[in-house]
Structure 1
Amino acid sequence: MALGYPLSSRLANRRADELIPEISPTAAPEPFLPLLAPSPLTPFANSTIPKLSGLCVLNFTALTNMMVVTSTDCMAAFAPLLANVVCCPQVETTLVILIGQSSKHTNTLALNGSLAAHCLSDFEQILVGQGANDSLSKICSVHSSNLTEGSCPVSDVAEFESTVDSANLLAACGKIDIVNECCEQLCQNAILDAATKLAQKAYNLLSLDGSHVLSDHSTRINDCKSIVLRWLGCKLEPSRAKEVLRGLSNCRINKVCPLKFPNMSHVIEGCGTAISNRTACCSSVENYVSHLQRQSFVTNLQALNCAASLGTKLRKANITQNVYSQCHISLKDFSLQVGTQESGCLLPSLPSDVVFDKSTGVSFLCDLNDNIPAPWPAASQLPASSCNRTVKIPALPAAASGQSSFESKDAKALLCLMVSAALLILM
């Protein structure tokens, strides 16, 4: 069994916001330099071997490497901070592939209620045994019902393949353009088409038995999408399936701002009346943004949406001057602040994983190409879409412009942020 590497109980029991240093959001961020851990983390002893039910049909051993990646992505102290972008998408992807791979032997793309409960429990136990957070179900809103067929009428593999255009689905999703799929939606449209055909069978059955009770159409379609994804998890090699599924999840993730905006009365008061006192205004803006910085890491595209959302709320409160420019607010100010460099970390808009190394600690990728100013929205302006090639956003992160990587002319623009759990213990 692969060994995991836990954070100390002292670190794991500390509140997430206590790990975040007080940093002024107006400081000009510099690219992160790798920080080496003072000492490696201690591996788990045999006493942490999980207690499994023995009733789950999923073959966790066949996906040992993926399970290790998942536990690392959801490492105890970092899981809440990376939940939206890294941890939960990886948890969901791993579960989809596990069920998909098991269908090769069970011939079904769903678990019944009892098996689903046992398998989800076993899944969590294994991850926790390798250092993952012990509240993943709550953090990621995963329930045993997510492993069943839900309201989708088809879960049998043979019936699935006789109902949908399997060849077209595999051609569209067997290998996706991870940069352009979010805009072109070739795979997403194929999945929707397949899910719609599966859902239609429910209405045919209901018409036969004379029932007039129909579940919500969108819910049925979504449940059938889960079945379609599991089928892909069966037909694709696990590493390819992960690339496809994580790419699709990031298309969804990058469309919205995951941050919650608290009451902004102090900002409205400080920046009202045509910003008569710029110092007071910027002080209130910085204080407000500092609260946003305590929530989670966000991607560069999520930061664009967050900047647009906050700016729109301020405009509706009759603050029409560009307070972002006046107060030097950048996109990185909307993401969680880390380390002593007085910088925020914007995660790439493409899928990425956390990496653990016994000598250097925990690391994950930060997209630090330039100190990108937060764009102030024009009146009634919706957040700029990265799919609209005519939209001109200064220094838009490379992946949002359709580039295949985050490389820039300046090598310092993209560095791997080494966040050492051991270093945090000393803070």
Structure 2
Amino acid sequence: MREEVARSLHLNLLIVFLLFLCLHESCCSPFNYMKSSLIMGKRENALLPEMSPSAAPQPLVPLLAPSPLTPFTNNTVPKLSGLCMLNFDAVESIMRMTSIDCLSVFAPFLANVICCPQLEATLVILIGQSSKDTNILALNGTLAKHCLSDFEQILVGQGASDNLQQICSIRPSNLTEGSCPVKYINEFESTVDTSKLLVACEKIDPVNECCKQICQNSISEAATNLALKAYDLLSIDGSHALSDHSSRVNDCKSIVLRWLASKLDPSHAKEVLRGLSNCNVNKVCPLLFPNMSHVTKGCGDGISNQTACCNAMDSYVSHLQKQSFITNLQALDCAASLGMKLQKVNVTKNVYKLCRISLKDFSLQVGAQESGCLLPSLPSDATFDNSSGVSFVCDLNDNIPAPWPSGSQLPASSCNKTVKIPALPAATSGQSALYDEVLMFLLHFAASVVLTSLL
């Protein structure tokens, strides 16, 4: 028995050491080690989610953080295929920004809001800028594999995660034309009203675009015109088996965005693309809600014991906080989603008000005070400074109460929010989440998970 305990202790300490070493050398994503540690832990029911809050959260165990990473520089020479003809030099500065946004340690936790939107925009701009030489707005399947591999190798050489294709669900097919029948620039410009498209999308208002959809409607119109070309081609062949029209239009939207990126300078194109992507980012809650039986037991049937209810809610929310950083608008959707789920399992009273749950409680916690970090709803990037390292702006101080849903449906759109929150943190509440603070949290979190498995 003692030998088994010793082996278990040795294995778990080894996991902590590997995580410590990995973060110190920036060699891998912390997500993999956290997932492994969670799997190693004892679980009462294998069918429950990995972070099911069946008990009060364990305290964070102090662990010495490694010294800060070496300065963010190109310290690795990428191994390129030599087969990709895309013009990487044309988007050098955008790729450098993407590497910072997708820094190895942060990528899984900034994926939804910062890393993946920036990564996707960079790929669009890369193909768009390269089309000036190739006259084509898509790659074939073979070339797409080589180019995506080279693209990732360059980013990894600048400090980005080596798991971006998985984190952001990027595939070589994302660089092709998909089912869109048009990929050559001359055919594109003879099919689409390019003047109208440029007027609508050359400059967008990142706040009002999501509601008025001026550029988005113009993109949809252009994509629809491109998709209709397929019907003419198929009718010539006498085929009646038409692909799903909405899927074809969606693929053609990628072609439209690449054409736009070819007509704007890279930095300008990046602002437009990130503004458009944020309209989709802020529409939904990215969090996964684990089993809530513990909350149902403590807060259901009229709440007989307020202390027990709030302890259960605090435990549940603490597990949500370990998933990712989210924006303030996403937090509204998350609060509504969780509230609706609780109401369906007979939690009828406003437990948000009762237990003082605020919007920032739904996002990852950082800093010495473990304060919720809500990212701005407008597009944002991480920044790098030689003295302070990598940081990003988030709201740590505004305690906006989480709204308890009053109706039977979620908010229809971010344009109809009843709670007014700023798109950007106010000067008094905007803070920078520094590398050391967030890294310390990640190490604490991983260590607590491993040591919990020993109890």
User: Take 2:269 and 2:356, find their aligned partners in 1: how far apart are those partners?
Assistant: 42
- 1:398 equivalent in alignment to 2:414: no
- After alignment, is 60-69 or 105-114 more displaced? 60-69
Query: What letter corresponds to residue 42 of structure 1 in structure 2?
Result: T
User: Structure 1 stretch 80-89 or stretch 208-217: which is displaced more?
Assistant: 208-217
Deviation at 1:57, TM superposition (A): 1.2
Q: Distance between the aligned counterparts of 2:363 and 2:443, measured in 1?
A: 23
> What is the TM-score with the length of structure 2 in the denominator?
0.82
Paired residues of 1:282 and 1:327 also in contact (CA < 8 A): yes
Measured at CA, do residues 386 and 422 of structure 1 come closer, stay the same or move farther in structure 2, by a change above 3 Å? closer
> Quick one: which amino acid aligns to residue 412 of structure 1?
T
> Within 1, Cα distance between the matches of 2:299 and 2:422?
33
* C-alpha contact 1:336 1:345 (8 A) present in aligned 2: yes
Structure 1 residue aligned with 2:116: 88
Query: 1:300: Cα distance to partner?
Result: 0.3
1:60 corresponds in structure 2 to 88
The CA distance in 2 between the partners of 1:125 and 1:225, in whole Å, is 27
Mark the CA change 1:119 to 1:202 in structure 2 (over 3 Å): closer, same or farther: same
More deviation in 369-378 or 143-152? 369-378
Deviation at 1:383, TM superposition (A): 2.2
Aligned match of 2:250:
222
Matches within 5 A, 1:267-416: 267-368=295-396, 370-383=398-411, 385-388=413-416, 392-393=418-419, 396-399=420-423, 406=424, 408=426, 411-416=427-432
Cα 1:70/1:289, change in 2 over 3 Å:
same
For structure 2, the residue ranges without an aligned partner over 5 or more in a row are 1-21, 38-55, 58-64, 445-455
Does the 8 A contact of 1:85 with 1:253 survive in 2? yes
Judged with a 3 Å threshold, the aligned counterparts in structure 2 of structure 1 residues 253 and 158 are, in CA distance, closer, same or farther, namely same
Deviation for aligned residue 1:381: 3.6
What residue in structure 1 maps to residue 283 of structure 2?
A: 255
Aligned-partner Cα distance in 2 for 1:258–1:329: 18
After TM superposition, the score normalised by the length of structure 1 is 0.87
The CA deviation at 1:153 is 0.1
Structure 1 residues 45 and 256: CA distance shift in structure 2, 3 A: closer
DSSP 3-state at the match of 1:415 = strand
8 Å CA contact 1:360, 1:420 repeated in 2: no
Aligned-partner Cα distance in 2 for 1:105–1:90? 24
CA distances 1:322-369 after superposition (whole Å, capped 9, x unpaired): 000001111011101112122010000000001122211221010346
Q: Residue by residue, what CA displacement relative to the aligned partner does 1:361-402 show, whole Å, maximum 9, x if unpaired?
A: 2210103462010000013142264313xx532xx3212xxx
Cα separation, partners in 2 of 1:232 and 1:382, compared to 1, 3 Å: same
1:118 aligned partner, one-letter code: H
Give 2:433's aligned residue: 417
Number of residue pairs the alignment of both structures matches: 396
Of the structure 1 ranges 90-99 and 215-224, higher mean CA displacement relative to structure 2 is found in 215-224
Whole-angstrom CA distance in 2 between matches of 1:373 and 1:147? 42
- Cα separation, partners in 2 of 1:214 and 1:342, compared to 1, 3 Å: same
Determine the C-alpha separation between the residues in 1 that align with 2:397 and 2:259.
Answer: 38
RMSD across aligned C-alpha pairs, in angstroms? 2.4
Hey, what does 2:10 align to over in structure 1?
none
Q: Is the 8 A contact 2:25 2:69 kept in 1?
A: no
Q: Is the 8 A contact 2:200 2:218 kept in 1?
A: yes
1:151 aligns with 2:167: no
Residues 260-291 of structure 1: per-residue CA shift (max 9 Å, x gap):
11111111111112000111111111111111
Return the structure number with greater relative CO, CA threshold 8 A, min gap 6: 1
